[in-house]
Structure 1
Amino acid sequence: MRRYGPALLLLLSGAAVLRISLFGDLYLRYVQAGLRPYLVVSGVLLVILAVLGAVRATRTYEDDHDHLGEEDEEGKERDVEVDRGGHDHRRTPRISLLLAVPAAALLLHPPPALGSYSADREAAQRAAQGVGTFPALPAGDPVDLTLGQFTSRAVYDSGRSLKGRTVRMTGFVTRGGDGSWYLARLLITCCAADASTYKIEVRGADAPVNDTWVTVTGTWRPKGKLGSDAAWPPVVDAASVTKVKEPENPYERR
């Protein structure tokens, strides 16, 4: 088994990458959609390397056994690199096989997208730099906005374009320590490792269970001075809160 350790690790890693990228959309939990081709190519290469590694290990094993009967009368050792303790360096240390555990976990049970725990840890993020005017919102209510768009206008728009408008936004639920709750969404540039948080305080409706995905329809409640810490997080007075299925792509893009 130790002889095939590297090949097994490569195979598990390649299969896991292909499972989330080639055979489904689970990769969207971790990276942007545009990185899918690179994941597929990487997974295929890992599988190919695993096969080549297994073939090489098999041939080495057969060669070793062929040499067993060729030792001379003086008991010379076979041409195998062995240290003083008698360890075969061409075999994989057992401890290294533990690296297969995370690869197997990704293959069998991919972890979920980042959620309320990550949102709670994230310091208040700013969607724009400085106070200014924003383009007019589309006609008709409710107007669909991302959390980033709503936050930018609520915190920085001197033209108050949200005033008197009904908005509709989708995100997951995260609770505050004082009984308040928030609609949150994580934004990524490349992958989940660089995620930052937008969150909006929701008032006028009971809080669903943490990490539940909901669509909130309501109106903006002005809060604090524009561009100040007092304006964060922005507030929406909810007219309705509807549970929805987690989107195929749970992240917003910068």
Structure 2
Amino acid sequence: MRRYGSAVLLLLVGGAVLRISLFSELYLRYVQPALRPYLVISGGLLMLLGSVAAVRGMRHGEEDPDEDHGHGHAHGGPRIAWLLTLPALALLLFPPPALGSYSASREEAQRAAQGVGTFSALPAGNPLDISVAQYSSRAIYDTGHSLKGRTLRMTGFVTHGSHGTWYVTRLLVTCCAADATISKVEIRGDEVDGAPQTDSWVTVTGVWIPKGKLGTDGAWPPVLKATVVRQVKEPADPYDKR
């Protein structure tokens, strides 16, 4: 059986990659949508290589039927190599979840890579759907105060701070989950009946509350006075867009 080890590993990894990219949208937990074709191609190639390796193993067994009886033990590699199939099998059966509150808590020192200035006008609409990253950038850096007087709506997962403070949080991915940065908005308001559970997803509607001097740590994190907080399902693409 050891001669099939590489084939099994390739097939498991290829199957896992195809499962999350071709047969579902789970790949969005880890990479940007634009990378989907590359994942599908990679998964297909791994499956092809695994099939070729399996056929070669079968032919080798037919040519050397005494291998398992002591005449070919060196060709199959160490038995411990089979342990490599465990993470591949776990990826196939139990894909890891998207990054959440734990990852956000480790990235709180990060800020948007931009300076203070005037932003473009916001689109019409009331309430206006806006990403957490867009709201955060405008609240902290926009000298034109484009958020003023607008009713805004955003979706994200819940994280908690001290003294009952809670935030709508979103992670922004440039390429893949490894480079994720955080945006979060503190939620206040008399209409908010308690803080939702950590990592639950909510859509919050409210208005901007100015805080601190623009472009300084005093403006972080921005604040939204909420009038409506509604729990929702986690979106297929859990990461934010600028």
Name 1:222's counterpart in structure 2: 210
Letter in 1 for 2:18: L
Q: How does 1:206-217 map to 2 (within 5 A)?
A: 206-217=194-205
SS in structure 2 opposite 1:92? coil
Q: Name the count of aligned residue pairs.
A: 238
Letter in 2 for 1:242: R
Shift of 1:44: 0.9
Check the 8 A contact 2:25/2:236 in 1, yes or no: yes
Name 1:142's counterpart in structure 2: 127
Q: How does 1:1-254 map to 2 (within 5 A)?
A: 1-65=1-65, 88-204=73-189, 205=192, 206-254=194-242
Letter in 1 for 2:13: S
Shift of 1:128: 4.4
Name 1:74's counterpart in structure 2: none
Distance 1:191 1:201 in 2: 26
Task: Pick the structure with greater CA Rg.
Answer: 1
Shift of 1:253: 3.3
Distance 1:109 1:153 in 2: 38
Deviation string, structure 1 residues 134-154 (Cα, Å, up to 9, x no partner): 112223321111111101110
Shift of 1:100: 1.1
List structure 1 runs of 4+ shifted beyond 3 angstroms: none
Distance 2:118 2:49 in 1: 55
Distance 1:253 1:103 in 2: 30
Deviation string, structure 1 residues 136-185 (Cα, Å, up to 9, x no partner): 22233211111111011100011111112111000000111332101000
Name 1:84's counterpart in structure 2: none
Query: CA RMSD for the aligned pairs?
Result: 1.8
Letter in 1 for 2:183: Y
Letter in 2 for 1:177: S
SS in structure 1 opposite 2:204? strand
**TM-score, normalised to structure 1's length?**
0.89
Letter in 2 for 1:235: V
